[in-house]
């Protein structure tokens, strides 16, 4: 079975600085997808960024980028120029490549605090 | 965002009582999911649906049942609530594309006393 591990329960960053959130996963599959979701205090789940395993190029969305190391099964999220609105719980998630059902496997989350 | 409505938003109930949570979508998405969120566990899949009357179990389905009689509604029932089912419950929907964004509701905070 696939597992997703987020080893940092809490992180803190100064406003305008850069922070990296770690995520590792375990799978025997070669085809899969990885996601980072953000959950602010409102509880809303917001997709931050996504990565297809077959793509070697790291995904980027504005200030958010990933470092996808397929051999190491690592999928870290880098937030540049951190803003107060980035404060949230961040979840890493895995999705098997087969089928149409998006059954996501989530990590336990990293709570990010942004200091002014 | 997408029209995903969960009701109720909060509920307090007693052990042994039945509870039904509702998820309503206006997006005509084929797939619907129920997750529970607990500290130290992230979100875990309870049940999902791939069409009207088509449902299947997820990772933590014991003690839960679901029904989907219409595309837009997906019900989660706790037949006899237990304290271990105290959690925040999220509904999510999607079309089924592999890398798609799932649309989540705002969650239901359920407390079983």
Query: Out of B40, B44, B98, whose CB is closest to A95?
Result: B98
The list of chain A residues with pLDDT below 50 reads none
Average pLDDT for chain B: 94
Name which of A45, A52, A101 is nearest B90 (Cβ-Cβ). Answer: A45
pLDDT at position A90 is 98
pLDDT over 80 (residue B98): no
Contact map slice: A 55-94 vs B, CB within 8 A: 91
Q: Are the Cβ atoms of A104 and B98 closer than 8 angstroms?
A: no
Q: Which stretch of DSSP H or E encloses residue B111? A: strand B108-112
Residue of A nearest to B9 (CA): A43
Predicted local distance difference test score (pLDDT) of residue A72: 96
pLDDT band of B2, cuts 50, 70, 90: low
- Provide the pLDDT for residue B1: 52
Question: Which residues from A are below 8 Å from B31, CB to CB?
Answer: 100-102
Nearest to A102 among B40, B43, B96 (CB): B96
How far B113 CA sits from the closest chain A CA (Å)? 23
| B99: pLDDT strictly greater than 80 | no
Residue B45 scores a pLDDT above 80: yes
A87-90 contacts, C-beta under 8 A, 24 or more apart: A87/A40, A87/A112, A87/A113, A87/A114, A88/A38, A88/A39, A88/A40, A88/A41, A88/A112, A89/A38, A89/A39, A89/A40, A90/A21, A90/A36, A90/A37, A90/A38, A90/A39, A90/A48
């Amino acid at each position: 079975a696939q597992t997703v591990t987020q080893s940092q329960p809490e992180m803190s960053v100064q406003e305008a600085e850069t922070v990296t959130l770690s995520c590792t996963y375990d799978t025997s599959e070669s085809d899969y997808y990885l996601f980072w979701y953000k959950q602010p205090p409102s509880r809303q789940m917001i997709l931050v960024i996504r990565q297809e395993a077959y793509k070697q190029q790291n995904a980027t969305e504005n200030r958010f980028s990933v470092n996808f190391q397929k051999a190491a099964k690592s999928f870290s999220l880098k937030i540049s120029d951190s803003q107060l609105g980035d404060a949230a719980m961040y979840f890493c998630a895995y999705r098997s490549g087969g089928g149409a059902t998006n059954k996501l496997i989530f990590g336990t989350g990293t709570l990010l605090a942004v200091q002014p | 965002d997408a029209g995903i409505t969960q009701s109720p938003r909060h509920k307090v109930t007693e052990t042994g009582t039945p509870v039904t949570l509702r998820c309503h979508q206006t997006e005509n998405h084929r797939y619907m999911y129920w997750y529970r969120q607990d500290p130290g566990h992230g979100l875990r899949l309870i049940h999902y649906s791939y069409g009207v009357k088509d449902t299947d179990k997820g990772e933590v389905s014991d003690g839960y049942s679901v029904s989907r009689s219409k595309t837009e509604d997906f019900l989660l029932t706790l037949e006899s609530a237990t304290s271990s089912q105290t959690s925040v419950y999220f509904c999510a929907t999607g079309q089924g594309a592999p890398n798609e964004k799932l649309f989540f509701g705002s969650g239901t905070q359920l407390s079983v006393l």
